[in-house]
Structure 1
Amino acid sequence: MAALRSGHFHTLSHTPNPSSLSRCSQRAFSASSACASYDDTVQNLRIGKHTRVIYQGFTGRVASTNAKDSLAYGTNIVGGVTPGKSGEHLGLPLLPDLRKAKEQLKPDATAVFVPASQCGKAIEDAIEAEIGLIVSVAEHIPLHDIMRVMSILKTQSKSRLVGANAPGIIAPIGSCRIGFQPLPTFAPGHIGIAAKSGTLSYETVASITRSGLGQSLCIGMGGDIIAGTNLVDALKVFETDPETEGIILVGEIGGRAEEDAADWIKEYKKRVGGKAKPIAALVGGLHAPQGRIMGHAGAWAARGERTAAEKYKILQDAGATMVDHPENFGGVMKTLLSQSGRDVSKITQDAANQKRGYHTLRRRPSPAQQSSRLAAQQQQQRRGLLLRPDQESGPLEPYLSRVEGLSLSQESAPSDSFYIGITVDRTARAPCIATSPTTDPAQLGQRVKRFPYDWRQGPSESAIKEAIEHMQLDAAPPAALAQAKGLIEALSTMYKEKEAVTLSGSISIDNNGNLVLHQPSLVLQFDDAAYRSNKRQEDIHSLRQKDTEVPEEVEAEKDGIVFVKLSDPAANIGTLVNGAGLAMNTVDALRLHGGKATNFLDTGGKATSETVKKSFELILKDERVKVIFVNIFGGLTDGGMIADGVLLAFKEVDMKGTPVVVRIRGTNEEKGQKIIAESGLDLEAFDGFAEAAKRVVELANQ
């Protein structure tokens, strides 16, 4: 431990830990080993003082400013790559390609700071160069680009991916940051944190910093549908890390990462008993509307996936202590550490001894740093195009025509129909066939089974056979069985060619023994990042009809704001939040205080005075709103700027006498709170969430 505190926190791509790797991977920690796998790269996450970091896209404006911040923090940046350029940049070597960078700079990790449209290729280049840790922060990387990347990663055992759409990874012990985390929030210490949401992780970090416990390692899983590193991967690292005394997981609606983590926690506690490190967790989206994408591309539950509330209970039953708001993590973790027999005073004292001047929660970033952070946290946008039933036959027909005897019916599926589709298996990080012997909504969630396959090769004969068997079509006529196989093949082809997220529907067998696909049951969902980032699939995305959507939600998109109108007629609290995860949690936490939100609103990384003003305009279009709650954690967003935005809104927007409660924490929080308090307007400023929420509910009920 003393060596690690001194900064000797080595990346295990160079020095694998024999106790945590299989005998096979000890023998050959490379793709050439017959029994090595992507799982063997998990210990590459243990970054530290001597992790040698390079940048891809090094000379770009965002990368340059980020690198300056990270160098000042103490990160061991040894150079970078910009295609076609060489020489020096920021006083460090600049090389024209990764292969030369690998040979000359011997990096352990690369920070991928290139546009989303180029990220897939950049990550593949890093895999080919066998760089141990690849951190991709960009949002809006097309889903199928990441599925292609993951299909490659799973064939090797040298490179590990963090992200995409993640703040990255940071080791406050060892002063190593690979990503765009807000540095003033972090302090070296002994709590490991893994999170899907950036803003929720920053608020969690701030709570742990205020408690004096500090952080050992923080891993951003990211909010995309597929993550290169998930919660279980982080847990494996935290278990064996001698500097980590307690663990925090931050999840949200969508996928099975939290369920997989719960399974791991149960096995871990059974395996080590009373020696287990305490684990606390939070799940955002408990009150998210069914079927909506809540800001993050991956924040939605597919058929057969658990709700956020169900995942909360599963984690709780596995032994994790559940927290309803991230500002409570500090106090909860202190209690858990004490209950586990650990010396909390020693842990906090040790963390205090490691602090440096840079780790002050209220340190104000320079304008250049703030600009970098706002640019790095790209604006949130709508993710996913869902076609209406009357739009589906056009794109679908060329693929269905390949299945002889299959018919497309305009009638609703009968009660004895079967579910079939192609979607994403987030745990397997791959596309999958999804089938169920029933379409009964009460049973479908429990009976859908997934059969993952390699994105590059398509579904195998055996996977198709198992999927059909799971539908219990054993007694079906031979023609129907052949048509079911043909339908799966046709859908999987369309899935890849049209870059879909989900293609599914209900099928039945007619009196002639042929398969019928029922159009009213169809779900055709496509990844709009393919069009937004790369201008691919224009024919599909030209079908979007904005005039049929909620006007406020469409209007919000123009300003990089994610707005979801919630339907509860009793709701009367408008919410304005920065960050999708924090916005979900705000809606959830208000419920605990007896309030109901009229909307989900994420200003995103481009939160400026103008976007705050626009957010007020959107919220006030809802006649249900009696009070507005502005909940800002200033990780990447400046608290003073948000306060200025609130004042601008009061000057230029008809507030209709609506009171506003503002909670500002984090970067420049004191300035923001002072601006609000001294404004002389109908504004109230608070420091803690509970006090602010209580006041909001009081005003809403008046």
Structure 2
Amino acid sequence: MAACRRFSARLLASSAPFAPKQQIRRLSLHEYQSQELLQKYGVPIPSGKVVQTAQDARKAVEDLGEKCTISPQILHSLRKNTPGAPISVDNPDQGHNTASRILGNGPNGGSRPPVQQIYVSQSLASEEEWSLAMTIDRENYVPVILVRKSKGIDKDSEVASFPFAISQGVTPELLSRVSKHMTRTSSPSQASFKSLSKILNGLFRIFTDKDGTNLEITRLARTGTDGSFTCLSTAFTFDDAAAKRQPELFALRDVSQDVPEEIEAAKYGIVYVRMDGNIGNVVNGAGLAMATNDAIGLYGGRSANFLDAGGQATKQTMLKAFGIIMRDERVTTIFVNIYGGITDGRMIAESIIGAATELGPIKVPVVVRLQGTNSVEGLKLLDEANLGIHVEADFGEAAKMAVRFAAGQ
């Protein structure tokens, strides 16, 4: 199925989580926070400590038994920009030296926050390792367990998918299927079956109790002579819409590693998610914002952001949205896509003109598509403002135009 093919593609990238990219904000936990949550739910993990200094790292290695793994605590959304994958150390001196190199260093020459914490955990020998996630198959509208071999025989195998029902949870039949797949035997050992049962049931309880969206065990290892499984490293994300239901969980959010623009936008009721392209979008409504990103991709472009200014966007929110996008040096074209139901097209036009006046000249091409309430008047205002703004009423044509400008055509 298509969803699993996307998951498989993500898995082929080192340290990439199972979950596909989505244009929403999520709560991402650090590895040590995810591990602590697993432990709370009775899932087997190695002993570990989070530290902030090299001296504390030395002490942690001493306490945990010499051979340890040191992991910079960088949220998964930023890891592709960091110099630090987990590092194995054999003694306290190596732990101290490794921590000294990692702590205080930031990715991209310091354009992102420096590493402030590292997680020191016991190194456990393993012959086999897996990636396992409990997430949501959004194309088939079901929760799913995804599994792939990452170490040992059949390394880099295809992703195996096990859909299930929230109302039924981890049934004996589901547990048996997953266990047989991972152990390659119809009669797995009692230890492997029991440990896998703890893991899957613990994940399910976290998934449902805490509004999980993607609970990934990035390294699930068979570590014991009896074939038992242990969760060596994890990466958990949760639904941002659950913030009011999960105050204790959301108190764990590390705002120092959030994208600053996302924090600023949230203060004004704007949903902003930084993406990897060069077309800056200003849109009203989450559905239209997703459609806008899809249209840009359809015509060969790439969005720099997902931005939903809200179904009742005001002049103030529009000015803030423009300010955020105009400061983004990656943006080579701005695409404003507004459908005016409650939102007034004339107000949108006045906001764009006001942004050009208050925030300085707009130095990149701007394509504006307006439809709905007072859209004709709004488009006329923009056309008469002599700001070099390109107006278009048709969605598809406007998206094509934005892609062409972004490509320098």
Whether the aligned pair in 2 keeps the contact of 1:566 and 1:598 (CA below 8 Å) is yes
Corresponding residue for residue 560 of structure 1: 269
Please report the TM-score for the alignment, with normalisation by the length of structure 1. Answer: 0.41
Corresponding residue for residue 226 of structure 2: 513
* In structure 1, distance between residues paired with 2:124 and 2:374: 56
Corresponding residue for residue 546 of structure 1: 255
* In structure 2, distance between residues paired with 1:424 and 1:500: 9
In structure 2, the CA distance between the partners of 1:609 and 1:290, relative to structure 1 (3 Å rule), is: farther
Corresponding residue for residue 634 of structure 1: 340
Corresponding residue for residue 686 of structure 1: 392
Whether the aligned pair in 1 keeps the contact of 2:180 and 2:188 (CA below 8 Å) is no
Deviations 1:453-490 (A, max 9, x none): 343x5422222222222323527543122111122222
SS in 2 for 1:453: coil
In structure 2, the CA distance between the partners of 1:699 and 1:461, relative to structure 1 (3 Å rule), is: closer
Please report the TM-score for the alignment, with normalisation by the length of structure 2. Answer: 0.66
SS in 1 for 2:387: coil
Corresponding residue for residue 241 of structure 2: 529
Whether the aligned pair in 1 keeps the contact of 2:336 and 2:368 (CA below 8 Å) is yes
Whether the aligned pair in 2 keeps the contact of 1:415 and 1:439 (CA below 8 Å) is no
SS in 1 for 2:183: coil
Corresponding residue for residue 422 of structure 1: 134
SS in 2 for 1:607: coil
* In structure 2, distance between residues paired with 1:588 and 1:410: 44
Corresponding residue for residue 650 of structure 1: 356
* In structure 2, distance between residues paired with 1:557 and 1:461: 43
* In structure 2, distance between residues paired with 1:426 and 1:413: 36
> Deviation at 1:418?
2.6
Whether the aligned pair in 1 keeps the contact of 2:368 and 2:392 (CA below 8 Å) is yes
> Deviation at 1:555?
1.2
Whether the aligned pair in 2 keeps the contact of 1:421 and 1:488 (CA below 8 Å) is no
Corresponding residue for residue 395 of structure 1: 37
Matched, 1:616 2:322: yes
Corresponding residue for residue 232 of structure 1: none
Alignment of 1:241-260 (within 5 A): none
Whether the aligned pair in 2 keeps the contact of 1:435 and 1:471 (CA below 8 Å) is no
Alignment of 1:328-367 (within 5 A): none
* In structure 2, distance between residues paired with 1:566 and 1:460: 38
Deviations 1:353-406 (A, max 9, x none): xxxxxxxxxxxxxxxxxxxxxxxxxxxx954312121322332222236x6xx6
* In structure 2, distance between residues paired with 1:681 and 1:665: 20
- Aligned residue type for 1:644: E
Report percent identity of matched pairs.
34
Corresponding residue for residue 171 of structure 2: 460
In structure 2, the CA distance between the partners of 1:613 and 1:290, relative to structure 1 (3 Å rule), is: farther
Alignment of 1:45-64 (within 5 A): none
* In structure 1, distance between residues paired with 2:155 and 2:373: 46
In structure 2, the CA distance between the partners of 1:511 and 1:551, relative to structure 1 (3 Å rule), is: same
- Aligned residue type for 2:230: L
- Aligned residue type for 1:645: S
SS in 2 for 1:631: strand
> Deviation at 1:563?
1.8
Structure 2 stretches of 5 or more lacking a match? Answer: 48-120
- How many residues of Structure 1 are paired with residues of Structure 2 in the alignment? 324
Corresponding residue for residue 209 of structure 2: 497
Deviations 1:55-79 (A, max 9, x none): xxxxxxxxxxxxxxxxxxxxxxxxx
Deviations 1:416-467 (A, max 9, x none): 42343433455776655x14252489966x5322241343x54222222222
SS in 1 for 2:149: coil
What value does the CA root-mean-square deviation take over the aligned residues? 3.8
* In structure 2, distance between residues paired with 1:435 and 1:690: 36
In structure 2, the CA distance between the partners of 1:649 and 1:393, relative to structure 1 (3 Å rule), is: same
Structure 1 stretches of 5 or more lacking a match? Answer: 1-253, 260-285, 292-300, 309-380
Matched, 1:470 2:112: no
Alignment of 1:375-386 (within 5 A): 383-386=25-28
By relative contact order (CA 8 Å, sep 6+), the higher-ranking structure is: 2
Whether the aligned pair in 1 keeps the contact of 2:272 and 2:308 (CA below 8 Å) is yes
Alignment of 1:156-305 (within 5 A): 303=18
* In structure 1, distance between residues paired with 2:196 and 2:312: 47
> Deviation at 1:413?
9.7
